[in-house]
Structure 1
Amino acid sequence: MKFERFAFIFSFFIVFVAITGAIIYMDKQNETDTFLQVTVEDGDSLWSIANKFEKSTNISKQEFVKWVQDNNDIHSSIIKPGEVVIVPVEKDQYYQVEQLASE
Structure 2
Amino acid sequence: MALRMFAALLAMAAVSAPALAGDVVHPATNEMGYTVHPDHARPGKTRAQVESELEQARQSPSWASIRVGVTPTPFASQLTREQVEADLLRAQQHPSWSTRRVGGAVTMN
User: Which entry has the higher C-alpha Rg, 1 or 2?
Assistant: 2
Report the TM-score, using the length of structure 1 for normalisation. 0.29
Q: Which has the higher helix share?
A: 1
Which structure is higher in RCO with an 8 Å CA cutoff and minimum separation 6?
1
TM-score, structure 2 as length reference = 0.27
**Where is the strand percentage greater, Structure 1 or Structure 2?**
1
